[in-house]
Structure 1
Amino acid sequence: MRRMGAAWLAACLACGMAPAGAGTLVIESWRVDDRALWENVLIPAFARHHPDVAVKFAPTAPTAYDAALAGRLADGTAGDVIACRPFDASLALYRKGYLERLNGRPGLQNFAPPAMVAWQTDDGRETFCMPVASVIHGFFYNKDMFRQLDLQPPGTVDEFFRVLDVLKTAGIAPLALGTAEQWEASQVVYTSIGPNFWRGEEGRKALIDGRARLTDAPFVEALQFTARLGRYLPRDAAALTYRDSQAMFAAGRAAIYPAGSWDIAQLGRVPRLSLGVFAPPVRKRGDACYISDHMDLGIGINRNARNKEDAWKFLAWVGSQEFADLYTNRLTGFFTLSHHLIAVRDPVAKQMAEWRERCASTIRFNAQLLNRGQPGMESELWNINTRVLEGSLAPRDAAARLQEGFARWLTPRQK
């Protein structure tokens, strides 16, 4: 029997067949732009440890991913490894039984509890995706323009607006920032600078627990910052898309570009652009600083995976230092959430990563629990912050509207 089994296996291998139960490990993802990274760097690196495991990266367009993935999971055709969006989208998949519980799995020990919050149940007891990377918000600036006017990167709110005034007086467009798509007003302005007003996680958790309201001073002051910023927008800001703002800054037609670390790679390739970055300003000198260090991507396992044994091997490797180093340094601007010590090589990315050492990290305050009601907090923040930035809605009125909608459905989380 042993001779017959060996002969059968040899025959299978000779004709290109694999033994029963084996197959190609398929990775589901929305990151179509990352295909080269996965196919040319990450998968070959994994293969050096597991040469017997074939892996295929099979992304779906970001706008179609959630619905398409849910459909494939429901009918049993989804891949083995699942790229997990943060918070509710992946939590919903877990609650439907589509994702494996990861508690105690190899690799997860390399992540501190705060790094896992985007892929845990509300009570924090169950983890269903392994954290991969986050993005950090900040302000890019043209170093040559700053040198010409003898300007230094601002550290406080007053210094920030003095820099904007000097630029405007010199005839240089202070900001590359549009409002056509709305999300920038919320995600790269309000929820980027806001943590320095509401003290990061302290303010975010106070909202969730019902100890704070959006009409409280810190949240109103962040809206007042947004309103003040509107005085420095380009004349055609209402028609500018995100890509337009990016192109405006890259072409040297504006001095400062509010955005995030995800833009580093593209801006770093612009010829003759002397790229600098500074953190969101604090209220006054000596204040503690907070940064929006927002969780972007996790990795989970399809509970009905065809190649589950290989999927667990891959997941354990995702938790390794090798993966963290490759992902951080080959996908510039996306920073590992693990506690591995990684030397970030890109100078601008390195500077942003170092903010984690002197500032407290927080996430976009509405990301956890606060997007579940109607009106949805995310869409409300987009609309209301855009109106504040454009000057059609006063900050206090904006705060009152946000709190009114919020209070309709939120039941404060019980401790």
Structure 2
Amino acid sequence: MNSKLARGLLLSAAVLSLAGAAQAQDVTLTIESWRNDDLSIWQDKIIPAFEAANPGIKVNFAPSAPAEYNAVLNSKLEAGSAGDLITCRPFDASLALYDKGYLASLAELEGMKNFSDVAKSAWITDDGENPFCVPMASVIHGFIYNKDAFEELGLSVPETEDEFFAVLEKIKEDGTYIPMAMGTNDQWEAATMGYQNIGPNYWKGEEGRKALISGEQTLTDAAWVEPYKTLARWKDYLGDGFEAQTYPDSQNLFTLGRAAIYPAGSWEISGFNTQADFEMGAFPPPVKEAGDTCYISDHTDIAIGMNANTEHPEEAKTFLNWVASPEFASLYANALPGFFPLSEEPVELEDPLAQEFISWREKCESTIRSTYQILSRGTPNLENETWNASANVIRGSETPEDAAKRLQDGLTSWYEPQKN
């Protein structure tokens, strides 16, 4: 064989070898998310479990800052540079992505059968035909309290509103602790951990929420104004300077042991477990009168969908089916206590505070935040306006009645069922 032919054969063999290696290379899926505080959990627990079960598929978790996520994600999707998997916020923000063709329909995804209609409701088209994200978890609202402080002051966990304010008064009179850690600087927490936390007990959860969507109830009805009246009473128990207090300030006041009660979402559990050196407990929003049905905001919070333009649709579906599995539900719920699985398979929770929150599902009626479905699609945006109204009412710069009327006027201006 002449040397020229030999060199040609060697070159051909090398090219074939390289092609084979490229073909055998792992596919890497990138996940877009706003949960940058979860990065280590994804890298250390969730991704290794998936990769061990699915050789040939690698996963890269690439979060953005929470406040910037929507803008960053939209820019990437428009530019065609977004990841293969998209972490989905509930309801309209994600529905808009589906309507624009950025999220794929998951109607045929095998794993979707593991979820109830309620679980899927935050990530499905209005006609109920096309789910577009696999539900991952909900968060539950209530109050986290310092057990040491309660024991020290001889306090019992309040079950009614009168008991709740009596507890706050006793803490205030003693003076050792700020009764409740919450500020109004960032506004959203006044609505999320204030109005949406206690409100369902007034508007009867899903009954009131659906009546608002249908136009049978208005925001100026007593059931929607009364929670603001209760919030206005919180002012006396939030400590000096609460108006300028940010969300991280409130977290620090509580975990450093300076405040006795924290109006909470269950998403705080893992962070608080790390930072607080005292035992914590939790109680649901107190009812108006003893014996009343209790309602909790058990809010569909986070899901994951597929970029409609991914170059790896089959691998992305493999990952989404795994997210829909009991294995993922158990892994996620215990890695992130306070994020509760939405799949129909029961999951054993290890964290005692998470167990306390989820136990309320057995005795209270569950609902979701009233502003999230349909009612924040127009301008003014009811969700954002509720932030502002809740903060104003607590600060005392707007009366409950004026806040409710302003929100109702805004909703009536664009939402047809409320115009009748």
Taking structure 1 as the reference length, the TM-score comes to: 0.93
Tell whether the 8 Å contact from 2:84 to 2:312 is kept in structure 1 after alignment. yes
* Structure 2 runs not aligned, ≥5 long: 1-12
Asked whether 1:79 is paired with 2:83, we answer: yes
Deviates more, 1:66-75 or 1:100-109: 66-75
Counterpart for residue 6 of structure 2? none
Runs of 4+ in structure 1 deviating by more than 3 angstroms, as ranges, are 7-10
**Post-superposition offset of 1:13:** 7.5
Counterpart for residue 390 of structure 2? 385
- Matched residues in 2 for 1:87 and 1:201: separation? 16
Letter in 2 for 1:245: S
- Matched residues in 1 for 2:275 and 2:79: separation? 45
Per the alignment, in what secondary structure is the counterpart of residue 136 of structure 1? strand
Taking structure 2 as the reference length, the TM-score comes to: 0.92
**Post-superposition offset of 1:280:** 0.7
Distance 1:221 1:262, change over 3 A: same
- Deviation by residue 1:237-295 (Cα, 9 ceiling, x = unmatched): 11111111111111222211112111111211235322111111111111111111112
Tell whether the 8 Å contact from 2:179 to 2:260 is kept in structure 1 after alignment. yes
**Post-superposition offset of 1:153:** 0.8
Letter in 2 for 1:11: S
Per the alignment, in what secondary structure is the counterpart of residue 295 of structure 1? strand
- Deviation by residue 1:102-139 (Cα, 9 ceiling, x = unmatched): 11311111111001111111222221111111111111
Asked whether 1:106 is paired with 2:103, we answer: no
Distance 1:67 1:94, change over 3 A: same
**Post-superposition offset of 1:19:** 4.7
Tell whether the 8 Å contact from 1:249 to 1:256 is kept in structure 2 after alignment. yes
Deviates more, 1:220-229 or 1:165-174: 165-174
Asked whether 1:359 is paired with 2:364, we answer: yes
Distance 1:99 1:270, change over 3 A: closer
Counterpart for residue 334 of structure 1? 339
- Matched residues in 1 for 2:338 and 2:269: separation? 6
- Matched residues in 2 for 1:70 and 1:8: separation? 43
RMSD: 1.9
Q: If you compute each CA radius of gyration, which structure gives the higher value, 1 or 2?
A: 2
Letter in 2 for 1:132: M
Per the alignment, in what secondary structure is the counterpart of residue 293 of structure 1? strand
Counterpart for residue 373 of structure 1? 378
Asked whether 1:96 is paired with 2:97, we answer: no
Candidates 139, 143, 150, aligned match of 1:146 = 150
Distance 1:271 1:26, change over 3 A: closer
Letter in 2 for 1:170: D
Candidates 300, 304, 307, aligned match of 2:309 = 304
- Deviation by residue 1:315-358 (Cα, 9 ceiling, x = unmatched): 10000000000100001211111111111111001110111121
Counterpart for residue 133 of structure 2? 129
- Count residues with an aligned counterpart: 406
Candidates 8, 18, 22, aligned match of 1:12 = 18
Counterpart for residue 286 of structure 1? 291
Counterpart for residue 400 of structure 1? 405
Counterpart for residue 52 of structure 1? 56
Deviates more, 1:394-403 or 1:179-188: 394-403
Per the alignment, in what secondary structure is the counterpart of residue 174 of structure 1? strand
**Post-superposition offset of 1:80:** 1.4
- Matched residues in 2 for 1:322 and 1:104: separation? 21
**Post-superposition offset of 1:8:** 8.3
Tell whether the 8 Å contact from 1:12 to 1:19 is kept in structure 2 after alignment. no
Deviates more, 1:309-318 or 1:42-51: 42-51
Counterpart for residue 3 of structure 2? none
Deviates more, 1:358-367 or 1:387-396: 387-396
Asked whether 1:43 is paired with 2:47, we answer: yes
